[in-house]
Amino acid sequence: MTIVINMREKVDWKKIKVAARFIKESKLVAFPTETVYGLGADALNEDAVRKIFQAKGRPPDNPLIIHIANFEQIYELAREVPETAKILAQRFWPGPLTLVLPKKDEVPYVTTGGLETVAIRMPDHEIALALIQSSDRPIAAPSANISGKPSPTLAEHVVDDFYGKIECIIDGGETKIGVESTVVDLTTHPPMLLRPGGLPLEEIKKVIGKVNVHPAVKGKPIKLAKAPGMKYKHYAPEAQVIVIEGEREQVTKKIKELIKEYKKQKIRVGVMATGDFYEADAYFNIGENEEEIARNLFKALRELDKSGVNVILAEGIEERGLGLAVMNRLKKAAGYRIIKV
Ligand code: TXA
Ligand code: MG
């Protein structure tokens, strides 16, 4: 049985307490954050964390992010907290930034996928913070999707993937950012961007200067990637996604050509792009700017997939600001099938 708690209007502490009790009882609770929905469990309880991996079908060496509600909790999890961590947290927490630090012994290897480091963030969402506070536990939470599916930005997405399989889903409406947090490894010098996300790299550089970018961020994932998450196929819908990159006009022209070609071959085609593509079997107007596009990205992938199309043509955007995170997800979804025009 899964309890779905509606909390779209305002935080209801009575209901939060119900969900917090599940966390204390080593059960799973899905909850909204400002990025995507998370599938949460007590981060320091091995049995609870194992349930996350089981429910998601997640490979055991893909580590989880631990969510905290106040800065001091970082000292329960990290063995060392360098000055850069304090500066970044001061500036960007609560917010879509995850910091990788050396882990304390108390953090089980189950949570860190066997690594000596731990990923920590403070989410910028009242419900998430209330749940962490009320359960009085740091909460490990990957995105609340079955491994390999697009991340959930609506409670409906979590219901689709986990109804009947977890204890509780808190519905807080649509998530504000729509792509996951930015992951930065602070155990290397200079720090290294492991995953682009809701906080643009440019913002981080303004505060701490040089940041290296892991090669898997823009290109094909390489084997033995630093963030183990990068070596698995991610965000992939059932349909084959193809990214079309280039000048807007050229891209639009190419998409229209491709729609015709696919139709001739009786292949059902969906489009996610800025503007309307009525000729397609299904289309999702993805938005005018990078914020809108980030917010709509995963929903578009899920909806187009549900519409039963065989191919999804996706318009590429520039890889700066939130565009870096958007393109990272899109290229992965496409298995790196990219047409440049
Ligand atoms: O926005 C988010 O980050 C969402 C919400 C729920 O907070 N969570 C999320 O978790 O996206 P997940 O599990 O889907 O992605 C966690 C990422 C993975 O790429 C993983 O490899 C990386 O963080 N990661 C976690 N711990 C790490 C570590 N110790 N070293 C390197 N990478 C780590
Ligand atoms: Mg994920």
**Which atom of ligand 1 sits closest to the CA of residue 39?**
6
Q: How far is the CA of 217 from the centre of ligand 1 (A)?
A: 14
Q: How far is the CA of 32 from the centre of ligand 2 (A)?
A: 14
Q: How far is the CA of 30 from the centre of ligand 2 (A)?
A: 13
Please give the single-letter amino acid code of residue 188.
T
Determine whether the shortest distance from the Cβ of 98 to ligand 1 is under 6 A: yes
Whether the per-residue pLDDT at 221 is higher than 90: the answer is: no
Determine whether the shortest distance from the Cβ of 227 to ligand 1 is under 6 A: yes
Determine whether the shortest distance from the Cβ of 119 to ligand 1 is under 6 A: yes
**ipTM higher than the 0.90 cut:** yes
Looking at ligand 1, which residue's alpha carbon is closest to its atom 13? 142
Identify the band that residue 237 occupies on the pLDDT scale cut at 50, 70 and 90. Answer: low
Contact 296, 149 (CB under 8 A): no
Q: Which two tokens stand for residue 54?
A: 């089981």
The residues that bridge with 338 in the sheet, in sequence order, are 243
Provide CB contacts within 8 A for 261, sequence distance 6+.
Answer: none
Pair type for strands 139-140 and 168-171: unpaired
Determine whether the shortest distance from the Cβ of 237 to ligand 1 is under 6 A: no
Determine whether the shortest distance from the Cβ of 145 to ligand 1 is under 6 A: no
In this predicted model, what pLDDT tens digit does every residue of 259-280 receive, in sequence order? 999 999 999 999 999 988 889 9
Task: Provide the angle, in degrees to the nearest 10, between the axes of the packed helices 126-135 and 13-24.
Answer: 50
Neighbours of ion ligand 2 (CB under 5 A): 143
Q: For position 236, what pLDDT does the model report?
A: 60
Whether the per-residue pLDDT at 290 is higher than 70: the answer is: yes
Whether the per-residue pLDDT at 225 is higher than 80: the answer is: no
Q: For position 172, what pLDDT does the model report?
A: 98
Q: Which residue has the tokens 């996928």?
A: 113
**% the chain with pLDDT above 90:** 89
Output the DSSP codes for 160-194. Answer: HHHTTTSSEEEE--S-SS-SPPEEEE-SSSS-EEE
C-alpha 215, offset from chain centre: 19
Pocket test for ligand 1, best of 29, 183, 187 (most atoms within 8 A of CB): 183
- Spatial distance between the Cα atoms of 302 and 285, rounded to a whole number of angstroms: 14
What three-state secondary structure class fits 118? Answer: strand
Q: For position 278, what pLDDT does the model report?
A: 84
Q: Who wins on pLDDT, 288 or 278?
A: 288
Residue 81's Cβ-side half-sphere holds a number of Cα atoms within 13 Å equal to: 15
Q: For position 235, what pLDDT does the model report?
A: 57
Burial class (CB in 10 A: 0-12, 13-18, 19+), 75: exposed
Give the domains, in start order, of the chain with CATH numbers: 3-218 (3.90.870.10), 240-340 (3.40.50.11030)
Identify the band that residue 218 occupies on the pLDDT scale cut at 50, 70 and 90. Answer: confident
Q: For position 238, what pLDDT does the model report?
A: 77
